[in-house]
Chains A and B, each alone.
Chain A
């Protein structure tokens, strides 16, 4: 019997996939463009994400035993399926670059500046590969712990920053105009794009297909709530201009937080919670990369593909993160283009094709899953 995870784990996976980069790196990018409207930009982005998640779920509900790669294989043939798998793999390379930038710079810049960067990449690789071998169920459980840790992280940052919060810093609302604010939402779009693409690969492993829509959308909504706290706090406590000055804005807020007179510089506790979620992200990316590679090479199981796919992701990620300037150029420019080019059109295209080729899909979905 195929391994299946609960819808709760699926929601937890979505939250973990979005959160880590969204609260710091993304907010810095948005703040540099629209200043104090960054929280509105984040909100607008979440609305876009809800739409794409809905389309993704609806497309996959037509063939609940197949992921998007397999569905495209049914619709357009074997080679199209492989092409989609390669496209997803390329997406995951880009996603891993962004995730690794978040992971490495959080730890390297603020905690271990003397540690060589390759150590962080190696740690991510070893821990990620090790966990990926155990499969989606273990990662799903890890994601649940990740959500709890993120919840605690949010409480800690609230406790340490709320006393410095000034609501006047959030005014005036939409100072940058609706067009600029919406355009700036592209940075956060890349965060939920990871969640929707991974959903496109992993949804067949989730129980109760009738509830996929609710859990997918609710996962995004909860993730949105948990993320949006950060731009609001960053604007109110730090100010938007200071947020925009930093590469990792969330860490700047974390190290400015203090609870009372005796508990300050407790960002070490916060980073521990953060790291659980980031590792979950890494594991999920490795898992999906292995699944894509399995589909490309028609392997029976994803496990033989874990090490080669993870090493490819890690090597490219290492190249990206060894230079801050290159990493920021990638995250703010190339990754934005790549994410939008894949996360938006592919689910919409497959949904449209599925609408016109319903019978083909019904016939194909009865076939044994790869």
Chain B
């Protein structure tokens, strides 16, 4: 047994895939390793459940509020602030901040900002990221090594290059243009296909087509077939016609884009466009409708944020004609998440819906919970 590695060596060897022969031949080492694996497996299962979604949402809000300089509202938040400050201060004092592992690597890119440009070089090689907020920058990138990347990022697009020189501009954090001087650039904009640009090529976001303006008297058609499938457990309902925007404002364009995507069953694009609609004009005539269809699209895309977005909608528009449907749909999402108490409350709210289909869905939800 003198040929047996130490336990430490055995662990490393197994991790490197270098010990199977020894483990097969040595019953003692195999038993030790099996016990170790069993202990690790038990340890993985010994986890405390997450706090309820509402508590996590409260924490999320406190974090975001503090990030904007607003008062932090969460209970004990002041303690956290003190702890974080004390931790940072103590770490600085004691020299315990994360130690630099290696000298900062060089960058591939040379960036020349245009006047007034706002940007941030967020990371170095091997994955160089430049976050462009506003204005233009000229970028020259030396050839990348295998596995290295260089990207310019805005909130709605990424521009990835492989050794080139180009000019990129953004307005209000959104990608406004790309012009390639030499080399190749790939532009991936939200909601559109990736485009490969070569030397001399330029990219701009698609213009708003005012020629396609919908007359105010002509509402968008009610959902034609194929209408998006309703969330599970809820009978499909015809999509209601929506009041047309008074003009082709940016939010109206976003709203129409959302419906185009929803009818094409592209729920991710639809949810982003509905979100954009409410963001552009939070108090406008389209906001309530877009706020309702946003979580619907998220739910159909099977996105985890759907429940939170339904809650937001119901908090903000408790008297909306869509409130009953939203409550029932939220109830089913909560059933899936195992949050039975809130699910019951949401289903009960759904019993007041004008639509019999929605009321039936809410009754079915209560029945599924074993509640009369």
A and B: bona fide binding partners: no
